[in-house]
Structure 1
Amino acid sequence: MRENQVGSDRRSFLRNAGLAGVGATALGALGVAPAAADSPVSANSRGGRWNPDGESRQFTVAVMPDTQYLYWGSQNSINPEPQEASLRYVIENSRGPDANVVFMAHLGDLTQDGDVTSFRAVDRTFKTADSAGVAYSVLAGNHDVSGDDTRGNTPYLQMMGPRRFRRRKSFLGSDASGYNTAHVFRAAGQEWLLLAMDWRTSAAGFAWANDVIAKNPRMPVILTCHEIVAPTYGDEVYPYESGDPESNAEITDYGQTVWDSLVKDNDQVFLTLNGHYWPSGRMTKKNAAGHDVHLHITNYQNRYMSGGGMLRLYHFDLERNTIDVETISPWILEKDPAKRNRMEVLESRLTTPVDRFSMPFDFEQRFAGFLPIPVRPARPAGRMLVPGTVAYWRFDGVGANGSPVTGAQRVRDLSGHGNDLTLRAVAGTAPDALVWTDEHHPDQPGHASLRFDGGKEPLHGAYLSTGSRAPLNTETFRRGYTIETFVKIPRDWDGGTNGNMPVLVRRGASGDAGKHGKNTDPKEPVAQLMTTNNGREVQFNCYPLNQTYPTTNWSHGLPEEQWWHIAVVNDGHRTTLYVESSPVADNPFTDSAGISSLGLTWLLGAHEYGGGLDNVFHGWIGDVRIVNRALRTDEFMTT
């Protein structure tokens, strides 16, 4: 690790009513300078272009580390162009799914010498961001100030302190010293809190920060500070590499103070960002709640042109549950590639594992302790009975959670057509091979499911069947149909034991129904919805009324331990398979009308081949609905 020493000691989610900001009265009681009540100066009102989408579930937080060597006024060396280019990038990339920069955080050491001349130049550069209304934060590094946040007045405080942000909508306030500030930005329909803490924070500063978090108990928190962690490897080799890029940093002595005073007991803090040291690195550490906190160092001052004003971009994607991180130099990227010098070619984008990486991040689960996951309430069965519903089965209100399904229990057809389901079991199967559970897809109308513990080698398990006189047995769906259900595959699923696993099957061998021709197996049932070997793809294989051979739809593989909504839709001519309301790739254009029938029963969770049972489902099945017409995706049970 390195730090150049100069001088003495130098170096959903929607906003809820409960997301109360730190009000002026409360801050005043702490001796805090609150944000001014003036209306914010927006990018639009000043002619700028900074206008991010606060509702999009994809957004970017831009991070700018130590730019100190660009501002060394006492040596008459001022080079603002790289930083100006980065600020332009933030402004110009504040809209659109590929960027949507909602906030920019500087990590300190804005200058090399803390000189008033240097800060005047920094002040001029940041006016680019001010005039566009950019939401950003700065903090003091050890090259900007000395001592802790009780130091009093400095050029940093005069030009980059709280007064600079008083008209910003994103500025929440500062502590009494002015060296510790709080900022709020809106992203993914939720407000996020960013704390910009001094190079060396006093006990009073930490008390203020803890109070800010306490008064905003439902905001995820990013903590920025000049020093928290340092790399555990050197920069002798270029480009910088590490044996384990996800664990190549360690907490410093002062970083431990920050952890103990502010991070450890505040579960809202999920990410800390600091500069000061190089090369870049990262680590994770468990907080008092047992949750991971990601601690990152990013600093490029030792690289070409003092890092060229490089930006570390944290691309948050709440749909993919991922944070993608990249490092770029907008100053270089603005230049004509044909005119870049050799160092500019090398430094435009950093792609080593410590500078470009992805972090799997389950936002809902990580924030559940302070921002509970909203649970969609169960919906009455009557609301699911759309016109044309011929069968609707759900598993709430029958058996207790965890109890076995018994022969005396019946799953009623809530459509009222009498297609009730009753228990069937392979001889010798354990009583708990089929149980009632409260597990369900988050968008499932009924908050319950059945847990099947079946397989084929050896054959075992229990399942459900319609009665011999159920109207569904003879229904041929000449004008179309929609079959919907919810499934979850367990982690212990095995291709050999559980492959070709049946979800819903219409009994009756295709050969007995007079089917022959290409891809025909005379022993397989006339209709089967199942998951296949190894890849866990969904397959719907159907022998329609208008032809002698089957039509087959295939999906992609379904990962285990996750609920999936599956829908098969036929409009009287073509069948389309959907997973999570998304059409899959393998949907044949073959003309397919209706489903052949021999008047035999339907099986939920079991498969028949050549007239004999040969497989039982392994996993969970939720609500099942069958409609005698093609439904639009906005009519599915998930909507």
Structure 2
Amino acid sequence: MPPAGASESFTIAVIPDTQQETWSDTDTRLADRSTWLVNNATKLNLKYVTHIGDVVDWGNAAPEQYTRAQKGLAPLKGKIPYSLTIGNHDTAAVCQGGSACPGVNTNLAVRDTKAFNTAFPLNTFPTIKGAYEPGKVDNTYSTFTAAGQKWMVLNLELWPRQGAIDWAKKIVAANPDHNIIISTHAYLNGDATISTSNGGYGATSPKHLYDTLIKVYPNIKIVVSGHTGTAATRTDTGTNGNKIISLMQTYHSRTTNPVRLITINVANGTLKNWVYAPKTNETLAPETTTTGLNFTR
């Protein structure tokens, strides 16, 4: 496992879809991952953890899944700042067994996140500085400092409503001195292309999000997502000539507990990333390095 290195380097962790880790009380993979991150925080210089959604599988119909998710993420509390992104399985659009709810208007149900917000209320996350909708974690932004720079994690609902995108644009534009990391559940396809689909019941597509938000602002540096595929990486050039790194990690594992680790060296303008699974002590995606990045100071 690569060390974080000098003080100008630090790591953020991305937890992929954990829905299958909430099926059983005897499954400790989620808690084990959280504990591993806490135990290795100093070695990695770990500054932030974000989850890209599908925290549970059908929590609206099985509230015990939220209880298991709460316990599984509890080791992070007070140890490492973290935030959660809402996936389709975290909404009222998904019912028993993980399938779409019969007879339900999924376009409306996908925005019904009451159960999620009850399990993980806004005050769970002390680094959150603002939300699109008062009292809801569906669209939020959090800030932290690392390597002498300001960073922001912008958690956006999947296939976001235009109002949420417009809100995000205002936040990004108002904080040009922050390096922005966007976490949204659905963005890349399994082949690393940016999806042009709204999933059949979302408001907009990832391509629309890219065209109207991600490529427009030079301080947007990284996009992380899940939902489909296994693991993928792509690099885009924004309107202002800046590199944008997009990382997809999904896995839907029934045996281990993957986590994407991203180590950023602001002085060298590099980003190393790999996927490690603590339970089975295996590297699922080998380390790759992206160079030529310019971070906002």
* TM bracket, shorter-chain basis: 0.7 to 0.9
Determine the structure 2 residue equivalent to 1:158: 118
Determine whether 1:309 maps to 2:257. Answer: yes
Determine whether 1:173 maps to 2:130. Answer: yes
Determine the structure 2 residue equivalent to 1:57: 8
Distance, in Å, in 2 between the alignment partners of 1:256 and 1:79 is 40
1:251 to 194, 207, 232: 194
Determine whether 1:224 maps to 2:183. Answer: yes
Distance, in Å, in 2 between the alignment partners of 1:188 and 1:309 is 28
Amino acid at match of 2:210: W
Amino acid at match of 1:193: M
Determine the structure 1 residue equivalent to 2:86: 140
Determine the structure 2 residue equivalent to 1:83: 30
Amino acid at match of 1:103: Y
Distance, in Å, in 2 between the alignment partners of 1:313 and 1:104 is 9
1:216-263 Cα distance to aligned partner (Å, 9 max, x none): 11111111100111122xxxxxxxxxxxxxxxx101012102112321
Contact 2:277-2:283 within 8 A present in 1 as well:
yes
Distance, in Å, in 2 between the alignment partners of 1:322 and 1:264 is 20
Determine the structure 2 residue equivalent to 1:362: 292
Compared CA separation, residues 148 and 280, structure 1 to 2 (3 A): farther
Question: What's the secondary structure of 1:86's corresponding residue?
Answer: helix
1:92 shift after superposition: 1.4
Alignment of 1:275-290 (within 5 A): 275-290=226-241
1:323 shift after superposition: 1.6
Distance, in Å, in 1 between the alignment partners of 2:34 and 2:109 is 27
Task: Specify every segment of 5 or more residues in structure 1 that has no aligned partner in the other structure, as ranges.
Answer: 1-52, 233-248, 334-347, 372-639
Determine the structure 2 residue equivalent to 1:109: 54
Distance, in Å, in 2 between the alignment partners of 1:149 and 1:161 is 19
Contact 2:151-2:178 within 8 A present in 1 as well:
yes
Distance, in Å, in 2 between the alignment partners of 1:102 and 1:120 is 26
Amino acid at match of 1:299: T
Determine the structure 1 residue equivalent to 2:98: none
Compared CA separation, residues 200 and 114, structure 1 to 2 (3 A): farther
Distance, in Å, in 1 between the alignment partners of 2:267 and 2:194 is 31
Contact 1:70-1:79 within 8 A present in 2 as well:
no
1:197 shift after superposition: 0.8
Compared CA separation, residues 160 and 281, structure 1 to 2 (3 A): same
Report % sequence identity: 22
Question: What's the secondary structure of 1:273's corresponding residue?
Answer: strand
Alignment of 1:50-449 (within 5 A): 56-72=7-23, 77-96=24-43, 99-115=44-60, 116-130=63-77, 132-145=78-91, 146=93, 147=107, 151-165=111-125, 168=126, 170-176=127-133, 178=136, 179-232=138-191, 249-253=192-196, 254-301=205-252, 303-305=253-255, 308-333=256-281, 348-350=282-284, 355-363=285-293, 366-367=294-295, 371=297
1:150 shift after superposition: 8.2
Amino acid at match of 1:310: P
Amino acid at match of 2:59: G
Compared CA separation, residues 270 and 200, structure 1 to 2 (3 A): same
Compared CA separation, residues 150 and 281, structure 1 to 2 (3 A): closer
Q: Identify which of structures 1 and 2 has the higher relative contact order when contacts are C-alpha pairs closer than 8 Å and 6+ apart.
A: 2
Amino acid at match of 2:46: V
1:544-595 Cα distance to aligned partner (Å, 9 max, x none): xxxxxxxxxxxxxxxxxxxxxxxxxxxxxxxxxxxxxxxxxxxxxxxxxxxx
Contact 2:262-2:273 within 8 A present in 1 as well:
yes
Contact 1:63-1:104 within 8 A present in 2 as well:
yes
Contact 1:180-1:197 within 8 A present in 2 as well:
yes
Question: What's the secondary structure of 1:223's corresponding residue?
Answer: strand
Question: What's the secondary structure of 1:229's corresponding residue?
Answer: coil
Determine the structure 2 residue equivalent to 1:483: none
Amino acid at match of 2:76: A
Amino acid at match of 1:349: T
1:85 shift after superposition: 1.3
1:349 shift after superposition: 1.9
1:322 shift after superposition: 2.2
Amino acid at match of 1:317: N
Distance, in Å, in 1 between the alignment partners of 2:45 and 2:89 is 31
1:96-149 Cα distance to aligned partner (Å, 9 max, x none): 4xx11100110100111133221122122222211x332011011111113479
TM-score normalised to structure 2 length: 0.83
Determine the structure 2 residue equivalent to 1:610: none
1:320 shift after superposition: 4.0
What RMSD in Å do the two structures reach over aligned CA positions? 2.2
Compared CA separation, residues 201 and 161, structure 1 to 2 (3 A): farther
Alignment of 1:516-531 (within 5 A): none
1:53-85 Cα distance to aligned partner (Å, 9 max, x none): 9x921111111100111113xxxx345411111
Question: What's the secondary structure of 1:230's corresponding residue?
Answer: coil
Contact 2:88-2:110 within 8 A present in 1 as well:
no
1:292 shift after superposition: 2.2
The structure carrying a bigger helix percent of its residues is 2
TM-score normalised to structure 1 length: 0.40
Question: What's the secondary structure of 2:182's corresponding residue?
Answer: strand
Q: Which has the larger radius of gyration?
A: 1
1:283 shift after superposition: 1.5
Distance, in Å, in 2 between the alignment partners of 1:211 and 1:221 is 13
